[in-house]
Structure 1
Amino acid sequence: MKFLCPSHELAQDSSRGFDLDGRKLFAVRREGRVYFYINRCPHRGVPLEWQPDRFLDPSASMIQCATHGALFLIENGECVAGPCAGQSLTPLPGREDAQGLWVQL
């Protein structure tokens, strides 16, 4: 497991991008849980964020691709709207403990 950041650096209903060992990934905190994904849209293979650390739609209820507006469920990465509907983001195993957020690459 690789350390990402202290827990307080990922607020509730927010997202944050990371570049770890040359791989782009991001984390989203929702309802007390943290979800980890590779930062790559399954449609075009491009990074998802429209600004640094901005992976969520305006309501902070879904992950949104900045390129084509595809919407993904935070809980499992499934695309539910847009050109990659039916495809999914690539999840990464991770955990949160007293030190902070950890991810397995």
Structure 2
Amino acid sequence: MTDKPKRVLCALEDIPDGNSKGFPPVPGAFTGLFAVRRGRQVWVYVNSCPHIGVPLDPVPDRFLDTKKQNILCSTHGARFRVEDGFCTSGPCYGEYLEAVRAHVNEHDQVMVPEDAGL
């Protein structure tokens, strides 16, 4: 089994530690991605609430609640765990954000599959 081709999403330093950052859709895609960083660990998700598909961020790069502990949907107030995208409260309780496989390479770049967000 071969790995899918990868692309650079951003440099690790582009995402402030303990915060989040949004990324616009790639050409041909409707929805962008966002990433949450804690140290060298980065979680990447499709920027779409499972309730009705709206983007999660009220303003660019603001995906976390005020305590920076949960991902928050600005439209309905749904809360999601950073670690797995599980909705812990709100109209989509029990559903998940669409996760994107990501890792930080030896050059401190956040890598995602080439087709991430399509």
What's the TM-score once normalised by structure 2's chain length? 0.84
Give unmatched runs, 5+ long, in structure 2. Answer: 1-5
Question: How much does 1:4 deviate?
Answer: 1.3
Q: Detail structure 1 runs of 4+ shifted over 4 Å in the superposition.
A: none
Query: How many residue pairs end up in the alignment?
Result: 105
Matching of residues 18-57 of structure 1 within 5 Å: 18-21=23-26, 22=29, 23-57=31-65
How far apart are the structure 1 equivalents of 2:17 and 2:64?
12
Look up the equivalent residue of 2:8 and give its one-letter code. F
Q: Contact conserved, 2:40 with 2:104, CA < 8 A, in 1? A: no
Question: Residues of 2 paired with 1:48 and 1:4: CA distance?
Answer: 19
2:23 aligned with 1:14: no
Higher percent of residues as strand? 1
Secondary structure in 2 matching 1:13: coil
Q: CA deviation at 1:86?
A: 0.3
Helix, strand or coil for the counterpart of 1:28?
strand
CA RMSD of aligned residues (A): 1.2
Q: Which residue of 1 aligns with 2:91?
A: 83
Identity of aligned residues (%): 41
Bigger Cα Rg: 2
CA contact (8 A) 2:78 2:90 kept: yes
1:92 maps onto 2:100 in alignment: yes
